[in-house]
Amino acid sequence: MTTSLQDGQSAAGRAAARDSPLAAQVCGAAQGRGDARDLVPAPWLHARALLPPPDGTRGCAADRRKKKDLDVLEMPSIPNPFPELCCSPFTSVLSAGLFPKANSRKKQVIKVYSEDETSRALEVPSDITARDVCQLLILKNHYIDDHSWTLFEHLPHIGLERTIEDHELVIEVLSNWGMEEENKLYFRKNYAKYEFFKNPMYFFPEHMVSFATETNGEISPTQILQMFLSSSTYPEIHGFLHAKEQGKKSWKKIYFLLRRSGLYFSTKGTSKEPRHLQFFSEFGNSDIYVSLAGKKKHGAPTNYGFCFKPNKAGGPRDLKMLCAEEEQSRTCWVTAIRLFKYGMQLYQNYMHPYQGRSGCSSQSISPMRSISENSLVAMDFSGQKSRVIENPTEALSVAVEEGLAWRKKGCLRLGTHGSPTASSQSCATNMAIHRSQPWFHHKISREEAQRLIIQQGLVDGVFLVRDSQSNPKTFVLSMSHGQKIKHFQIIPVEDDGEMFHTLDDGHTRFTDLIQLVEFYQLNKGVLPCKLKHYCARIAL
């Protein structure tokens, strides 16, 4: 076998050895460790085989060669550990095809949590965006996509949270986390994420907005928003904020000024002169976070805190903590900083929510319709043709009449079983049917209700229904309007042995909470606005 290997080399093999000396040497060095059939011998091996041996040693050499051949036949075949180095003689050893191709879309496992602390693990590519992650969770859990689903970055050890913008790369966000930090990604709704594009008047109060150049006439909130998106002009946000002194526990009230170049504070009252302004923070290398427990974690004077945190991992000393007097002021500062930092990118995210990097595009996914105020109208089906009831008074009377008729049918249907307590059982069923609804939250406090509404966005019409803590027999409707949270007590009213629910001292009555909520989704009534979006704790 060895003789045939040495003397039976093909002309193509010898040509490859002459053309590529490095390949022949590598293959010759690996000869003793691999399968002889896969190896190309080196040139010096050919020369040595062709030299005639001395006369006196010819017979001994033949015996030794026969013995070696028998040993080779008896040895087991050993796999070649370098098959890529000993390829066909017609293929260049150093060709680019032998090197492993770089995978630009390496996958990584991330864990996403919901509000009830259930979680789901996802294997995602390295260039996946926050919007793509939301789209995956929407599809996997069969949720309705109304463009309000958002990914949040939660930092529990310092009590901070922020909205991850739709275009941000999730893996880059995770790379900034420390090894020992118990940070989390949360998936929930945020109705206020792009609300400033729809209703800018709620986000930029007149007393907080000024302009670097003189303007002719009054400027509308829409024009202010256009200035934020423009690179040539910009508005200024100004006002007093509480700032935490660096390295200290104390807070100081200072006049701040927000411009496109960064955030500044005045060293002399409310002066805006350049000599009195000092630089506080920029936006390029920092992210804006909202403080969840400012009083408890950082000793803030109010609960409306926010801060600048560097993109790279850093400790609490690197935070630049600020605190506003009210929620509307904090919302204005945070929204303006987002617009200054991302500009037109935010508008593109709002206008084209399906433009992602991981294949979740509008061509592959058709958005599902969500229930809104424009798709809910009062209808009359009593005649031969159906019609839309446009008169609110008529709609109210029809809703009350249908509610009474529906309740009587339910009582009769449940009473046909012959039980003497059928009527009371049907009433109990009507009173408890709301517990299965996503907008009902059983036994949560006033503070917890406010926290849930703030988390899902202070947009007009965001609401939930909960049990009353002061009166166990009543319920409370908590809702958002005008950047504030308002609470309305739902009082039970008894009439001829029958129980009803009302918000207006019995003028409008409903047999259960479902009818009440559906009515005020269609009609404003005594509320400041219609009910639009309910707060729900979803599970992954």
pLDDT tens digit sequence for 32-60: 444 434 444 444 334 444 444 445 545 55
Distance, in Å, from the CA atom of 72 to the CA atom of 443, rounded to the nearest integer, reads 84
Which residues in the chain come in under a pLDDT of 70?
1-105, 212-218, 231, 313-315, 354-376, 383-384, 400, 402-432, 539-540
The pLDDT value given to residue 289: 95
pLDDT tens digit sequence for 166-190: 999 999 999 988 887 899 999 999 9
Residue 179 CB neighbour total at 10 angstroms: 5
Residue 262: left if φ>0, alpha if ψ -120 to 50, beta else—which one? left
Distance, in Å, from the CA atom of 210 to the CA atom of 226, rounded to the nearest integer, reads 14
- Per DSSP, 270 falls in state T
pLDDT tens digit sequence for 90-137: 444 444 444 445 455 688 999 999 988 889 999 999 999 999 999 999
The residue type found at 71 is D
Strand partners, 256: 239, 265
- Per DSSP, 354 falls in state T
The residue type found at 115 is E
* Both structure tokens of 386: 């159906």
The pLDDT value given to residue 76: 54
The pLDDT value given to residue 301: 92
Distance, in Å, from the CA atom of 376 to the CA atom of 300, rounded to the nearest integer, reads 44
The pLDDT value given to residue 61: 57
* Both structure tokens of 55: 């006369």
Domains of the chain: 107-189 (3.10.20.90), 195-211+221-351 (2.30.29.30), 434-534 (3.30.505.10)
- The model's pTM is 0.66
DSSP line for 424-468: HHHHHHHHHGGGGSTTEETT--HHHHHHHHHHT---TTEEEEEE-
Distance, in Å, from the CA atom of 246 to the CA atom of 253, rounded to the nearest integer, reads 14
